[in-house]
Amino acid sequence: MNAHHATGKRCASCVLPGTYRNITFDRNGVCNYCRTYDRLRPKLTNFRRLRKLREDRFDAARGTHDYDCLVGMSGGKDSSWIALQLVQKHGLKCLGFTFDNTFLTEYARANIALVANRLGIDHFYHTVDPELHRQFYRQAVLSFGKPCPGCSYSSYALSYKLAFERGIPLVIHGRSRSQMFRELLPGSPDAFLPFVTLNLSPYDHAANLKATLNARNRLDTFIAMAIPDPPMRERFYHEFFPPTDALRTANLLPEFLGYFLYQPYDEHAMMNELVAELDWKKPQADGLLTHADCAVHDAAGYLHEKVFGHNILAFELSVMIREGNMTRQEAMARLEAENQLPAPSDALGAMCDHVGIDPQTLPAILEHIARKNRRRNRMLRIRNWFLRPRLDL
């Protein structure tokens, strides 16, 4: 092989470690994620072209239905700022939606109410069968070592289903560029990657259907791992996904659109604008890459490191380095500061209590998952080496 894998290494360009999924390094110590981004950089940073693609979509959607778009509102800075832009800058009629995952903080709820009221956005909370979702969170922890898939998979799938049922042409999500580009790699199983590819070209209904079904197939793999019980899996699909046959025959198919795909990302500027325009409340910890809207985010970060052997911020910091928003030295300093933080016992206790897991059993659970994850990583690297897939956006 021209590139090799080493668990003790860290990329010489970004800060991804050798334990990151499907990572390899060239002779100069640069990882395959950096090399892929460098090849795609011209397309990903041509913001004049990208903004035109976004405006074309907004122009096509504006005024054609009861609502122009469904926008997720978590109470955090990203979704709050996007809501502000959609209403004040783009003049879209938005329906605001919050998935009540039981982990929303009071800070988040207060910001959701503030943004909806100040912008005049119709907004609703969506709740699901609490026992079903508790079981899904539990299975996510038992399968992946953290509850995050219980939010990301279900909330994004649900937002798409709600838009589909209500005849809303756009679903605007708040994944940052760092989150969208975290798995930007040939052969990546990332369920959101088909939508990144779709969003980067002029809208086409057939391409939208293909991307939607592709994302659904990718999600099926993760959901099968997270929910081994078939009856429960069927309940989950019924709750969170529109029927596949209905998607294939629909005249109107919502597009799952990443707002930040089309422009640079600047957290501090966003928060300052929110404060100035809406009297939005900054979180007490208002540094980069914080999540004051989630009560168990710190627990998820702790569990991630135990399972995957690296800090949960490594992928976002690495994309920020590639995009010129941070130096490698600054990113390493942030990781070092994160490593000094104590275990988030309160957040871990709240998570375990919610999903019904004895905290004393967590170390053994995490070690078992870590071993399975290492095996999957080896198989993924071998598969991609032989297949030599190419990523074209």
Residue range 217-252, pLDDT digits in tens: 998 888 888 788 888 888 888 888 999 999 999 999
Q: Is the model's pTM score more than 0.85?
A: yes
- Enumerate residues 6+ apart whose C-beta is below 8 A from 301: 311, 312, 313, 338, 344
Q: Helices (DSSP H) in 227-260: which residue ranges?
A: 230-240, 244-249
Query: Does residue 146 fall inside a structural domain?
Result: yes
Say if residue 330's pLDDT is above 60.
Answer: yes
pLDDT at 166: 96
pLDDT for 331 equals 96
Q: Is residue 258 part of a domain?
A: yes
Per-residue pLDDT at 2: 44
Q: Would 376 be classed as within a structural domain? A: no
**What value does the mean pLDDT take over residues 345-354?**
89
On whether residue 288 sits in a domain, the answer given is: no
Asked if residue 346 is part of any domain, the answer here is no
Supply the mean pLDDT for the chain. Answer: 90
| Mean pLDDT, residues 157-163 taken together | 94
CATH number at residue 208: 3.40.50.620
Task: Please say if the pLDDT value at position 6 is more than 60.
Answer: no
- Residue 38 placed within a domain: no
176 contacts 320 by C-beta, under 8 angstroms: no
Statement: residue 339 has pLDDT above 50: yes
Work out how many domains the chain is built from and give that number.
Answer: 1
Q: Which domain holds residue 200?
A: 47-262
Residue 335 lies in a domain: no
Could you read off the pLDDT of 22-74 as tens digits, one per residue?
899 999 999 999 999 999 999 999 999 999 999 999 999 999 999 999 999 99
Q: pLDDT tens digit string along 243-268?
A: 999 999 999 999 999 999 999 999 99
Answer positive or negative: Cα dihedral of 150, 154, 155, 156: positive
53 in a structural domain: yes
> Residue 392 and residue 390: Cα distance in Å, rounded?
6
